[in-house]
Amino acid sequence: MFGLGGAKAIVGLDIGSSSIKAVELKKVKGEISVVAFGVEPLGSDIVVDSMIVDSGSVSTAIAKLFNDHKIKAKSVATSVSGHSVIVKKIPMNTATDGELAETINSEAAQHIPFDIADVNIDYQILTEDNGEPQMDVLLVAVKKDKILNYTNVLSLAGKAPAIVDIDAFALQNCYEYNYEPAPGTTVALLNLGASVMNINIVKGTTPLFTRDVSVGGNQYTDSLQKELDLGFDDAESLKLGQKVGTVSEDAKLPILQQVTEIIVLEIQKTFDFFRATAAGEHIERIYLAGGSSKVPGLIEALRQEFSLPVEILNPFQRIAAGGENAEFIEQNAGQLAVAVGLALRSFEDL
């Protein structure tokens, strides 16, 4: 959303609370392929509630990630989410781009809970000019200190921040490119990270409703640690379906199921609110992304609760990733979706 300066090759950098994901793409004769990608884990309490608490650790991790995976490009697109991010669809009197640019700040002041001087604003007209007196505008506001929190860390790591996007829209960008949705198809995109779940309900290429929820994979890990008296690493492995010591499936699954029920309830509340505000719109499919998308039983629980097709979003469905990367991508595809969506910004006019 927020372009900070033009660049050609842009690395998509998804800074999460448990890891940093980087993806660099190239386009040759209309075909997009992977140049480089990698994942660098972060310790706990380094990124908390979508804010970078320990800038030094994050900048060091970014530098290591670029070095280890031989990523040469310096320009970076990253994304933010959480309480400092406001996304709203607002009705406005039909206006030209020039007129809208002049009035958007005063209009935004009525819709966002922050001082207008403290935020960066971007917007997009959602409705086509069909002569109607009103149009829908997607308004995005992010607190300036939130953007600085991320761009300062990139600069500290020797990278040039080119774009700051919203997690939910980066996920949508990845979905649009890889799935080429029909205009009338309505889907829910869920990005389940360690501490935040981004929900974006999209019709064709138009976002209808976005929400960030403060639940995520850390709740699975915390519950497994507490209930089974495990260390963090063992609990993480169990969460992702790996075998740990003598812990049985019977001991693990009820704990995972309890947390899954909390996550499903949050999704249910979001869907209910969406249906109440978007008359006649029906979600047809759910795509799941994020590092916690592979928790055993989660997809089945979503299918059962919503009676909808549910699948892991494949960020490399239309992107050539190279045979030598196949196994890693198969295991980690879900958590690379936001980074791929950011890297795809390389091929847009900023």
Q: Which two tokens stand for residue 230?
A: 């495990």
In CATH terms, the fold of domain 86-140 is Dna Ligase; domain 1 (3.30.1490)
Q: What is the per-residue pLDDT across 255-295, written as a single tens digit (0 to 9) for each? A: 999 999 999 999 999 999 999 988 789 999 999 999 899 89
pLDDT at 132: 82
Q: C-alpha angle 188/192/196, rounded to 5°?
A: 110
Q: What is the DSSP letter of 30?
A: T
Q: In whole angstroms, give the CA distance from residue 290 to residue 337.
A: 7
Assess contact for 244 and 237: CB atoms under 8 A: yes
Cα torsion 283, 128, 166, 203 to 10°: value is: 10
The total of other beta-carbon atoms located within 10 Å of residue 290's CB is 28
DSSP secondary structure string for all residues of 285-296: EEEEESTTTT-T
- What's the confidence (pLDDT) of residue 350? 39
Convert the pLDDT of each residue in 293-302 to its tens digit. 989 999 999 9
pLDDT at 3: 55
For 110, the enclosing helix (H) or strand (E) is: none
What is this structure's pTM? 0.92
Give the pLDDT of residue 6: 45
Q: Where are the domains of the chain?
A: 2-85+141-218+258-347, 86-140
Which residues of the chain fall below pLDDT 50?
5-7, 350
Q: Please report the pLDDT score of residue 50 as a whole number.
A: 85
Report phi then psi at 110, rounded to 5.
Answer: -80, -15
Whether CATH 3.40.50.12780 fits 2-85+141-218+258-347: no
